[in-house]
Amino acid sequence: MLLLAQLACTSAAVAAGKGASNASSEEIKKVLSGVDNLWASKKSQADMMMTVKTANYERALKLTLWAEGEKQALVKINAPPKEKGTMTLRLGQDIYNFLPKIDRTVKVSAAMRSSSWMGSHFSNDDLVRSSHLVSDYDATFVEATKRGQTALWTIDLVPKAGSKLTWSKLRMVVEKERAIPVSQVFYGARGAKIRTIVFSDVKELGGKLAPAKISVTPADLPGERTDLIYVSLRHDIRLDPDFFSVDNLKAH
């Protein structure tokens, strides 16, 4: 998914695991598709706040995200003044950063895609990468639990062969009825936990119920975190045909 805007998908292989009697393959596909569709839109605009806490500093950013389909996205920093006007553009598989201080656009190399974006716990790739829970992973139902009166499902998702995803497994907890994610835990090639993402503050965004707050905590940096908070979200907006282009970055 675009970590900031998850997109719709197609089919997946679903296996049965612990507690499998509580979920059929079709039910699991329906829930995963629901998660994928939470932020789905042909063209959208979101205003967001990002707060970053590390061992060395704390900072807050105001952002605007525009997205069109799966292949095009633009993130612009509106505040603080030091970073105002900095932008990250995705065009297909290519990522570009516009740096207003030096009035220069730089293509992000493959080696730098996993580097931190603006000192946060999101990478360059996170901000614009798209993946789909249903089409990019093989799913295994793990268990059914409850949080109060809310039915929760835990599902393990393993990237399909040939996938460019860099983790070995994603364990997701999701609300069964509303198909709203609660948490995602990412694991590396050796089974070690890489990071945890928690979804909270469910409210109406762009006409849909969705988590307005996304919090990521790295497993190897205790006490550090990045929170991404949706302030507003509009679907099916109008954008100029050349809105997502390197040549027009300065115009934004």
In-domain check, residue 185: yes
Per-residue DSSP letter, 104 = E
Residue type, 215: S
Per-residue pLDDT of the chain (252 residues; tens, 9 = 90+): 345 443 222 233 444 444 444 578 899 999 999 998 887 788 999 999 999 999 999 999 999 999 998 789 999 999 999 999 999 999 988 999 999 999 999 999 988 878 899 899 988 877 656 678 888 899 999 999 999 999 999 999 999 988 777 789 999 999 999 999 999 999 998 899 999 999 999 999 988 899 999 999 999 999 999 999 999 999 999 999 999 999 988 888
- Which residues, in sequence order, are CB contacts of 74 under 8 Å at separation 6+? 65, 66, 67, 87, 88, 89, 90, 243, 244, 252
Can you read off the two tokens belonging to residue 214?
Answer: 């996304």
In-domain check, residue 238: no
In-domain check, residue 156: yes
CATH number of the domain enclosing 140: 2.50.20.10
Whether 14 contacts 28, CB under 8 Å = yes
In-domain check, residue 59: yes
In-domain check, residue 8: no
Instruction: Tell me how long the chain is.
Output: 252
Nearest to 4 by CA among 103, 92, 96, 75: 75
In-domain check, residue 237: no
Per-residue DSSP letter, 128 = H
What's phi and psi for 205, nearest 5 deg?
A: -130, 115
Can you read off the two tokens belonging to residue 88?
Answer: 């990250």
What's phi and psi for 73, nearest 5 deg?
A: -155, 150
In-domain check, residue 243: no
Whether 50 contacts 229, CB under 8 Å = yes
Can you read off the two tokens belonging to residue 30?
Answer: 């329906």
**Domain span at residue 127?**
14-232
Whether 229 contacts 49, CB under 8 Å = yes
What's phi and psi for 149, nearest 5 deg?
A: -95, 5
In-domain check, residue 94: yes
Question: Total structural domains in the chain?
Answer: 1
* First-last CA distance in the chain: 24
Nearest to 186 by CA among 212, 220, 162, 209: 220
Residue type, 77: I
Count CB neighbours of 72 within 10 A: 19
